[in-house]
Copies of this chain bind each other. A is one copy, B any other.
Amino acid sequence: MVEPAPAFPQPDAPEAPPAHGATVAHIVERLRGDILARRLSPGARLVESDLTMRFAVSRGPVREALRRLAAEGLIEHAPHRGALVRRLSPREIQELFQIRVELESLGARLAAQADDTDLRARFVDAIRPIFDDSQRNACEYLAENAAFHDAILTLAGNRQLRDLAMRLQLPLIMAQVGEVLTPKVLEASVREHRAIAAAICERDPRAAEAALRAHLERAAAMAIATPED
């Protein structure tokens, strides 16, 4: 009784269930959204019976959804103890950033070397938002940031790399460190994005990699400097 009821987003909204065969996917999406939007805070328990009621499905799909989220790294799962929303320690964040730097450096290099005219055109199109000069709030920035990094990896042309980067708890990290995103920080990030984009458009792999490394290393330093949530 230490907790005043988990306070779920929608206690029992009708939740129009999707077509047959998409039940699990639906649950996964909902829960992922709740976790990344911090409607479910890190460390929160995910009890199967609660979820069966919330989504009006049986335990089977719920369990599968939890497994998938565990595979994505969004939740932790201990035998007989249930699932918890994952909480990243500063050390884990630091380690993940260290990996991300290498992965995205490779991506930037490959993107700068990409030859496909069509792909490059789509890249330019996808990153258009970063040239918008209006102020962004944290949420807008997170979306723009995700799209920008994804655009680079798409242009890079290494599908495995793109998949891997997406599955690397990057959203989780960003959600957890989202609080330090002051307007000044956001502005600096956007400027760095533009520098990276410029290097890629000019087909300068070294500059692109360097700019991306600088960008991520600054971000990592900031993220680690957030000991408490």
With the chains together, A71 CA to B68 CA distance in Å? 7
Residue A29 interfacial (CB < 8 Å): no
Residue A98 interfacial (CB < 8 Å): yes
In contact, B161 and A95 (Cβ under 8 angstroms)? yes
Residue of B nearest to A72 (CB): B71
Residues of B within 8 A of A68 (CB): 67, 71
Contact of A98 among B67, B70, B105, B106 (CB under 8 A): B106
In contact, A99 and B67 (Cβ under 8 angstroms)? no
Residues of B within 8 A of A103 (CB): 99, 102-103
Looking at the assembled complex, report how far the CB atom of A210 sits from the nearest CB atom of chain B, in whole angstroms: 16
In contact, B80 and A71 (Cβ under 8 angstroms)? no
With the chains together, A164 CA to B96 CA distance in Å? 10
In contact, B79 and A71 (Cβ under 8 angstroms)? no
Q: Mark each residue of chain A from 153 to 188: 1 if its CB lies under 8 Å from any CB of chain B, else 0.
A: 000001111001000100000000000000000000
Contact of A80 among B21, B70, B158, B159 (CB under 8 A): B21
Residues of B within 8 A of A79 (CB): 21
Residues of B within 8 A of A158 (CB): 95, 98-99
Residue A92 interfacial (CB < 8 Å): yes
What is the copy number of this chain in the assembly? 2
A119-170 contacts to B, CB under 8 A, are: 158-161, 164, 168
Residue of B nearest to A101 (CB): B106
Residue A50 interfacial (CB < 8 Å): no
With the chains together, A210 CA to B103 CA distance in Å? 17
Residues of B within 8 A of A26 (CB): none
In contact, B60 and A71 (Cβ under 8 angstroms)? no
What are 20 A-B pairs with beta-carbon distances under 8 A? A21-B79, A21-B80, A60-B63, A67-B67, A67-B68, A70-B71, A71-B71, A92-B159, A95-B158, A95-B161, A98-B106, A98-B161, A99-B103, A99-B106, A99-B158, A99-B160, A99-B164, A102-B103, A102-B105, A164-B168
Contact of A92 among B92, B98, B160 (CB under 8 A): B160
With the chains together, A11 CA to B96 CA distance in Å? 43
Instruction: Given A96-B160, A158-B98, decide whether A67 and B71 contact each other with a Cβ distance below 8 A.
Output: yes
Residue A64 interfacial (CB < 8 Å): yes
